Structure 1
Amino acid sequence: MVDPERTDPETYYDDYGEREWERLDRDFFHRLEWEATVEYLDAHLPRVDESDDPPRVLDVGGAAGRYSIRLAEHGYAVDLVDPSETQREIAREKLREHGVADRVTVRDGDVRDLDAAAAAFDATCCLGGPLSHVLDADERARAARELRRVTRSGGPVFVSVMGLLGAVMITVQYAGRVESGDDLAVMPDLVRERDYTPDLAERHGVEPAIFDCHFFRREELVDLLSTAGLDVTEVAALEGVAGLRRTHFEELDERARETVRELNDLLRTDSSLADVSPHMLAVCRA
């Protein structure tokens, strides 16, 4: 029998430790997620004026603090909220190392209950997939409403999730290779149900390859956020055209990698590409 604790997101990220800090800078593929997300943050966050109090930004599911640190370095006052004690400890350590510990508050919290006043933040980030870790549909709706509630009217809200088609296509691409063969058997049921759970793995007699996760279609994400009262202005493919290759980018020279970046930039908001990207980002207004 599969141990449900192994796939519980909080337990998973406790065990994942420093690897979550390293993930977005691990290789070319993972840097695409970081680079595209940062580009949208820079384009849509409220401007910092040294004569005023710094804008307040909530980093929901901020984990080891990659985004919080960058926000603090650019003058924002940040609240990092995460349910993993290990990730919060790493975040505090990284904040001290980068000299911004006085600009970021780190606390326990969950996207479904943000424990903050209405309109408390000038902008809200929910990056890397916190909504994907909420399996119950009603609780996902509640979480989306929380993102809207705590953000001031007109403030930007950034939400990235894990894409269903990207997960399926990557699994098919890598079927039969090390650490990927078992996943193929669960894919038809994942497409039908969209939730990766211990039950799903057990039904197919395999060990869970990942944590509990809901995989989104683009239309589903837009509907969820819109129903919560958010105005979705863009949905972007983060890894986009690189999604199926995923690895071996070191075999390409720098010029070729720059071409991949350029192609991703050109096609990023194409609705079809966003729907097949491993991660998609919705840019919204509260």
Structure 2
Amino acid sequence: MKKWYEELFTNYVEKYEKESFTQGTMGEVDFIESEIKRDKSCRILDVGCGTGRHAIELAKRGYSVTGVDLSENMLNRAREKAIDTGVQIDFEKADARNLPFEDEFDLVIMLCEGAFPLMETDQMNFQILESAARALKKDGKLIFTTLNGLYPLFHSVKDFINANSNYSTNRENTFDLMTFRDRYQLETEDDNGNKLLLDCDERYYVPSEINWLLKSLGFNQIDIYGCKLGEFTRQDPLTIEDFEMLVIAEY
């Protein structure tokens, strides 16, 4: 049986590319470039690459990029876009919990909840971080975004849901303060107009958890910031008003 995120992205290419959270590519890639000091020799792995928006822009700027995703439909669109753009990118279907790479990349990115933290258990989410860390070279860097647990902690759950739902949902108080999971039903349509009713399950994290998870994987320098669409920067401290956090981890 397909998980909710697999079912959603089976036929969701056109709608996905129109979502507000996919519109900040240029600014996000500008930040990624600054983090690797525009070193064109860097090999980059984009985990949960979707239709390839970050991977393609990075390749256009001269970087060697590999993109992985669980959705063949999304990957097919990414391959088409790469051909249309005239860039060479290796797009592979892979489970983020078990990536087929070891000590290969200078940078791993996981942006806009492309993989982490959508898994149904904390162990599975940790396996994604573990797999990404394994793919990195010993002096590599990991950059990812994830849901900020401080936000729902300091806002009423109802206001939190109404203010941040990108989709039509039939949910009320679904955020569990004991597990930091938001389990809810999502009503949407695929690219063919077929209605979807999905039982979603997303995990929110607080900075101390992220810090501990990454420390356990051997990262020494872990920096966490607020995350604003298309405006990634080290100048924004994480606050209770940030729906997402930007995490940068180095060995």
Give 1:11's aligned residue.
7
Per-residue deviation, 1:83:
0.4
SS in 1 for 2:173: helix
Which of these residues, 78, 85, 92, is aligned with residue 98 of structure 1? 85
Give 1:183's aligned residue.
171
TM-score of the aligned structures, taking structure 2 as reference length: 0.79
Give 1:159's aligned residue.
144
Give 2:193's aligned residue.
none
Equivalents in 2 of 1:120, 1:41: separation in Å?
18
Comparing 164-173 and 231-240, the one that deviates more: 164-173
Letter in 2 for 1:186: T
Equivalents in 2 of 1:178, 1:79: separation in Å?
28
TM-score of the aligned structures, taking structure 1 as reference length: 0.71
2:123 is equivalent to residue 138 of structure 1: yes
Letter in 1 for 2:97: R
Equivalences, count: 237
Equivalents in 2 of 1:231, 1:135: separation in Å?
28
Give 1:113's aligned residue.
98
Per-residue deviation, 1:76:
1.0
SS in 2 for 1:284: strand
Over 3 Å counting, the alpha-carbon distance change for 1:83 and 1:265 in structure 2 is: closer
Per-residue deviation, 1:151:
0.7
Give 2:181's aligned residue.
195
Alignment of 1:135-284 (within 5 A): 135-166=120-151, 169=155, 171-172=158-159, 175=162, 182-187=170-175, 189=176, 191-197=177-183, 211-239=200-228, 268=236, 270-273=237-240, 276-284=241-249
CA contact (8 A) 1:133 1:212 kept: yes
Per-residue deviation, 1:15:
3.1
Equivalents in 2 of 1:183, 1:165: separation in Å?
20
CA contact (8 A) 1:57 1:79 kept: yes
CA contact (8 A) 1:82 1:88 kept: yes
Give 1:122's aligned residue.
106
Per-residue deviation, 1:149:
1.3
Equivalents in 2 of 1:192, 1:224: separation in Å?
19
Alignment of 1:48-67 (within 5 A): 48-49=39-40, 54-67=41-54
- Which has more helix, going by share of residues? 1
CA contact (8 A) 1:222 1:232 kept: no
The superposition leaves residues 91-112 of structure 1 with CA deviations (integer Å, 9 ceiling, x where unpaired) of 1111112111x2x101111111
- Which has more strand, going by share of residues? 2
Per-residue deviation, 1:181:
7.6
Equivalents in 1 of 2:248, 2:209: separation in Å?
15
Per-residue deviation, 1:265:
6.0
Per-residue deviation, 1:235:
1.2
Give 1:253's aligned residue.
none
Q: Percent identity?
A: 20
Over 3 Å counting, the alpha-carbon distance change for 1:171 and 1:278 in structure 2 is: farther
